[in-house]
Amino acid sequence: MIDLQHIHPIMVHFPLAILPLAVVLQWWVVAKGGSQFSRDCAARTIMGLVVVAALGALVAAAFGDMALDFAIDHGVPEARLEEHEELGTLSAWLLVGLAVLQGWFYATENRAKLVNLLMTFGATAVLGLVLATAYHGGELVYKLGVNVG
């Protein structure tokens, strides 16, 4: 049986793998002058990837709270964990917001070039935050040994 504190590092890989795919596909669609909110295959794929990344981030954040409690119970100073927790929570909610906006523009089939470009820049910024959060989490594991073993 997998311990609860080990589910968090498993779940974080979903948004870490899926969101970059969505962002690359967004940039590709924008670069060729298309719309990521049309009904073509690329738009449907982007929509699905962003939603799955957001759901994965929420699940990862929920299990991250459990992993945080476990780490504190095992002597890791809470101050060392707070920054990662705050970044993770912000990342998850920004990803949810991105998915909601993506869904709204997809539902309305918005083809405005500015909206497409702004959403792509927004997704790129969220990806940067997700990667920064992951880096900080890796530091906790590989430098401090948080929840290893």
Per-residue pLDDT of the chain (149 residues; tens, 9 = 90+): 888 889 999 999 999 999 999 999 999 999 999 999 999 999 999 999 999 999 999 999 999 999 999 999 998 989 889 999 999 999 999 999 999 999 999 999 999 999 999 999 999 999 999 999 999 999 999 998 898 87
For residue 129, the model assigns a pLDDT of 98
**Which residues, at least 6 apart from 53, have a Cβ–Cβ distance to it below 8 Å?**
14, 15, 18, 19, 22, 95, 99
**Domain that includes residue 27, residue range:** 4-144
Evaluate whether residue 18 is within a structural domain. yes
In a domain, 149, yes or no: no
Q: Which pLDDT does position 86 carry in this prediction?
A: 96
- Rounded to two decimals, the pTM is 0.93
Domain count, the chain: 1
Does any domain span residue 110?
yes
Does 30 fall in a domain?
Answer: yes
**Predicted pLDDT of residue 32:** 96
Q: Does any domain span residue 104? A: yes
Q: Which residue has the tokens 């969220």?
A: 126
CB-based contacts of 28, cutoff 8 Å, min separation 6 = 42
Reported as a single tens digit per residue, the pLDDT across 78-113 is: 988 999 999 999 999 999 999 999 999 999 999 999
